[in-house]
């Protein structure tokens, strides 16, 4: 019985991801969840009391998985500048991932205070991951800089979600350039960040140099 309920709950969450990805928060309704899963509408209420409860569950289940992928990309980067690039690039590469698209749709929706607090806490954990790299770069107010950097990432993700005219690779490379140049300028020293400059393929020359240097040590 417990296994059956767990499977049904998982099916409802999977249906919720699909609905959010396809139509945003307006598409996430209990009748739609019932139709997607073959359950009676009254049965859906046995698992979730409200749409906000579905949202909170999705955040609890999906956001840590998404954040772990970003953290892994950052850990593989050899320098603070490369970590900043990995933070931006890995998030934007996940825009096509259904879990990420669901989180974007959730964040844009009109939800109750409890659900919004869950989202704020999840995003706060994401921002905390980049603070250490920003501290290593020597700029002032690294936590504020981290929050503003996440704003750049969120704006780029929304532009991709809206189907902007620009190629997603162009949006990504532009966001990386804004992140690196803004942070290096904030550090205030000529040549800060090792003169990182995103190349034509969107990758940072400074990051690549850091990779080469680390291989020689």
The closest of 30, 36, 66 to 50, measured between CA atoms, is 30
Report the alpha-carbon angle 123-74-97, nearest 5: 60
pLDDT of 201 > 90? The answer is: no
Domain ranges of the chain: 1-49, 59-216
* 125, pLDDT greater than 50: yes
pLDDT at residue 207, rounded to an integer: 41
Average pLDDT on 8-33 reads: 89
Topology, domain 59-216: Tetracycline Repressor; domain 2 (1.10.357)
Q: What angle do CA 28, 158, 12 make, to 5 degrees?
A: 25
Question: pLDDT band at residue 206, thresholds of 50, 70 and 90?
Answer: very low
Say how far apart CA 6 and CA 180 lie, in whole Å. 44
Q: What would the CATH number be for the domain defined by 1-49?
A: 1.10.10.60
pLDDT at residue 128 tops 50:
yes
Q: What is the C-alpha end-to-end distance of the chain, expressed in Å?
A: 57
Give the pair of three-digit tokens for residue 30.
Answer: 């209990």
- Whether 1-49 and 59-216 share one fold: the answer is no
φ and ψ at residue 128, rounded to 5 degrees: -60, -25
Encode pLDDT of 129-181 as tens digits.
899 999 998 878 999 999 999 889 989 988 887 777 888 899 999 999 999 88
């Amino acid at each position: 019985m417990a296994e059956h309920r767990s499977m049904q709950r998982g099916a409802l969450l999977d249906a919720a991801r699909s609905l959010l990805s396809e139509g945003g928060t307006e598409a996430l309704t209990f009748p739609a969840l019932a139709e997607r899963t073959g359950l009676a509408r009254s049965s859906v209420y046995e698992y979730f009391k409200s749409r906000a409860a579905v949202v909170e569950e999705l955040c609890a289940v999906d956001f840590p998985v998404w954040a772990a992928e970003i953290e892994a990309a950052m850990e593989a980067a050899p320098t603070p500048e490369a970590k900043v690039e990995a933070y931006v690039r890995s998030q934007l590469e996940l825009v096509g991932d259904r879990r990420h698209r669901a989180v974007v749709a959730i964040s844009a929706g009109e939800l109750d205070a409890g659900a919004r607090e869950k989202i704020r806490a999840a995003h706060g954990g994401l921002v905390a991951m980049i603070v250490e790299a920003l501290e290593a770069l020597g700029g002032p107010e690294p936590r504020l800089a981290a929050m503003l950097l996440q704003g750049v990432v969120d704006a780029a993700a929304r532009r991709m979600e809206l189907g902007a005219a620009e190629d997603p690779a162009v949006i990504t490379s532009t966001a990386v350039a804004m992140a690196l140049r803004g942070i290096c300028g904030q550090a205030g020293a000529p040549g800060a960040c090792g003169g990182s400059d995103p190349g034509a393929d969107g990758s940072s020359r400074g990051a690549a140099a850091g990779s080469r240097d680390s291989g020689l040590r």
